[in-house]
Structure formats: structure tokens, C-alpha cells
Amino acid sequence: MNTNANAGPMFRLRGDAGVIGGFEVLPFGFLLFVGVTLLFVNAWGVIDTKLAVSTAAQHAARSYSESDNESSARAAATDSANATLRAYGRSNTRASIRLTVSPRFARCARVTVTVSYQVPAIAIPFLNGFGNAQTVESSFTEVVDPFRNRLVGAAQC
């Protein structure tokens, strides 16, 4: 048998097992993929939290302006904001709710509700997340209806 016929390029590369230069870049590419994925997940978490906080502030201001007196208005606004955050899957422990009423609870009073929420740097499902938190904040202003029933005084807006 002629040994020169088996000396072609396929015969010489048989021991390399198909590995060609560049295989060492695959771990780097995987780490880059994981890092970019975490970045996008964090960005989406901030956007989703902004939607939740904006909706919570809006619902709280509306609940305040539709209440009958000062004490029930503050309780209704806080409860409404907390319920909205829970509906969005957010924890009430990371949220803070601030109400500013100008000048006091009355017809035509302007109420501003500011809801802020601490978003972790990296949120991991079934864990709380870790890293330095970013604060996402939203405010909403509502005017107490001047023509509401059950409110003392005349409308002077």
C-alpha cells in the first residue's frame, strides 16, 4: 500500500480534535454576555419601578382629594399608595410616601404626593437583591374638588 496517499491534509490534522485558535475567547464572551444581561435587567427594573411609583403617587393623590376629612385623607392616601406598590410586586419597606398639602385640607387645596422607592443595584429573583440602591421618585399633584359634598366652607379657588 502506498503511504503517500494517506499523507494529505486531513491525515495530518486528525490529532487536533477540531480545536482551532480562538477557543480561549469563549469564556470572555460568556462573561460579557452575563454582564450586559445584568445591565439590561437592572435598567428594566428601574423603568418598571418608575411606572409603579408614578401610579402609586397618582392613586394616593386621588384618594386624598376624594376624602372627607384630614385624618381619613392621610390614611387613605398612604393605604392607596401601599396597595398600588404591592400590586406591582414591590415591598412597602423600601418605599417612602410624603404628602404636602397647601395650605390645609379644604376645598381647592393642592395636595402633592411624592413616592420614592429604593431599587437595588442587582435584583435577583427570590432574593432581596444587593448592591447600592438607586432612588426612584415620582410626584403627583391634585386639587381637592371645590364642589365636593361633605366639606366645610365655600369654594374660593
In a domain, 121, yes or no: yes
pTM for the model stands at 0.73
In a domain, 155, yes or no: no
* Number of domains making up the chain: 1
Q: For residue 152, what is the DSSP state?
A: -
In a domain, 91, yes or no: yes
Kindly report the CA angle at 88 between 82 and 89, in degrees rounded to 5? 90
Contact 101, 67 (CB under 8 A): no
Classified as helix, coil or strand, 24 is coil
Query: Distance (Å, rounded) from C-alpha 104 to C-alpha 136?
Result: 27
In a domain, 69, yes or no: yes
Domain range enclosing 107: 23-143
Classified as helix, coil or strand, 58 is helix
In a domain, 12, yes or no: no
101: β partners: 111
Question: Of 7 and 75, which is predicted with more confidence?
Answer: 75
Query: Distance (Å, rounded) from C-alpha 109 to C-alpha 97?
Result: 19
Contact 139, 57 (CB under 8 A): yes
Q: Has residue 27 got a pLDDT over 80?
A: yes
In a domain, 157, yes or no: no
Q: Has residue 150 got a pLDDT over 60?
A: yes
In a domain, 18, yes or no: no
Tell me, what amino acid is at 65?
S
Lowest mean pLDDT of 15-19, 64-68, 88-92, name the range.
15-19
